[in-house]
């Protein structure tokens, strides 16, 4: 069985940067925390915990030391709470997320409804809403567009969303006779990974998508693969693979979300090559 890895897959610039910043912080100070899991990859988060990086659920859980803000960013009031407590803050917010936050702030200042496309429960979306202000509405899909939109309507999008979803929301707003101000904040790494996954899924008999089940960008990659290749499988670890999935396959593709380190991808590729 031939195993082909997607041209662009795995850890992105923002995740790598956040991991590096957490490791440097941990070497400087034993009392190091992340506010929430640093990245959406349970294996990596466990490894960091074993090295001493504590995962705090909320600001209330941190009394001293260093706190690392993860790549997803936080709401402005959370940042203020951390500073008010006198904690040392290492801001590992991905620069692309920071740009999306600034865009959300600009749309807030324009004064109308700010549509934030993404999953309401996702930390990045919570952070974007914090910057977008009181008139922010989160829309996971075009069907969730509210009836009442106050002009000027602005649209900002979670960095790991798909362009198809953004386009659908823009078209639906236009269909109401409103020309929205669109901030396409989908990051370059996400677009590269989505395009590579779609291209590869078209070519192979089956495809394996590696990443945390709680990872938005990996879930989108899986959805894209599934739309292009019926035999798509979403795994977190190599031991979840069932060899029966690949019966009769000549070529299998492998892709991975932006929080999946290279060693996890290599482990899957190596295993598939033994089949």
Interface residue with ligand F3S among 71, 162, 194, 215 (CB under 6 A) is 71
Q: Does 260 bind ligand F3S (CB under 6 A)?
A: no
Of 108-167, which residues contact ligand F3S (CB under 6 A)? Answer: 159-160
Task: Report residue 189: phi and psi, to 5°.
Answer: -60, -40
Q: With contact defined as beta carbons under 8 Å apart, do 251 and 1 qualify?
A: yes
Judge whether 161 counts as a catalytic residue: no
d(C-alpha 183, C-alpha 68), whole Å: 27
Number of residues engaging ligand F3S in binding (CB under 6 A): 15
- Nearest one of 221, 249, 244, 247 to 234, comparing CA atoms: 221
- Token look-up 């960013």 returns 73
> Please, which residue, 113 or 158, has the CB nearer to ligand F3S?
158
DSSP strand E in 110-194: where?
114-117, 136-139, 154-157, 181-183
CA atoms within 13 A on the CB side of 5: 17
Q: Does 12 bind ligand F3S (CB under 6 A)?
A: yes
**197-236 footprint of ligand F3S as x/- string (CB under 6 A):** --------------------x-------------------
Q: How far is the CB of 11 from ligand F3S (least distance, A)?
A: 8
Q: How far is the CB of 53 from ligand F3S (least distance, A)?
A: 18
Q: With contact defined as beta carbons under 8 Å apart, do 216 and 261 qualify?
A: no
Q: What is the DSSP code (8-state) at residue 85?
A: T
Q: Does 189 bind ligand F3S (CB under 6 A)?
A: yes
259 is in an annotated binding site: yes
Q: Does 6 bind ligand F3S (CB under 6 A)?
A: no
- DSSP for 33-73, please give it: EEES-SSS-HHHHHHHHHTT-EEESSGGG--SSEEEEPTT-
Q: Does 13 bind ligand F3S (CB under 6 A)?
A: yes
77 is in an annotated binding site: no
Of 124, 144, 179, 250, the active-site residue reads 124
Q: Does 268 bind ligand F3S (CB under 6 A)?
A: no
The catalytic residue positions are 124
Binding residues for ligand F3S (CB under 6 A): 12-15, 71, 94, 96-97, 159-160, 187, 189-190, 217, 258
């Amino acid at each position: 069985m031939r195993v082909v890895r997607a041209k662009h897959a795995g850890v992105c610039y923002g995740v790598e940067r956040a991991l590096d910043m957490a490791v440097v912080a941990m070497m400087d100070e034993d009392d190091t925390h992340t506010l929430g899991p640093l990245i959406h990859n349970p294996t990596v988060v466990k490894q960091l915990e074993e090295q001493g990086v504590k995962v705090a659920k909320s600001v209330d859980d941190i009394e001293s030391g260093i706190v690392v803000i993860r790549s997803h960013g936080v709401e402005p009031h959370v940042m203020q709470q951390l500073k008010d407590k006198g904690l040392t803050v290492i801001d590992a917010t991905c620069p692309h997320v920071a740009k999306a936050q600034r865009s959300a702030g600009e749309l807030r200042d324009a004064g109308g409804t700010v549509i934030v496309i993404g999953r309401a429960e996702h930390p990045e979306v919570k952070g974007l809403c914090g910057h977008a202000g009181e008139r922010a509405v989160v829309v996971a899909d075009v069907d969730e567009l509210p009836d009442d939109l106050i002009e000027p309507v602005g649209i900002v999008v979670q960095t790991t969303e798909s362009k198809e979803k953004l386009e659908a929301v823009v078209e639906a707003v236009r269909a109401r006779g409103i020309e929205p101000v669109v901030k396409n904040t989908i990051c370059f790494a996400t677009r590269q990974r989505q395009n590579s996954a779609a291209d590869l899924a078209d070519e192979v008999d089956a495809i394996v998508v590696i990443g945390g089940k709680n990872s938005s960008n990996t879930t989108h990659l899986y959805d894209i693969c599934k739309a292009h290749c019926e035999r798509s499988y979403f795994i977190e670890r190599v031991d979840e693979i069932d060899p029966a999935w690949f019966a009769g396959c000549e070529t299998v593709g492998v892709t991975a979300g932006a929080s999946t380190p290279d060693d996890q991808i290599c482990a899957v590729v190596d295993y598939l090559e033994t089949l």
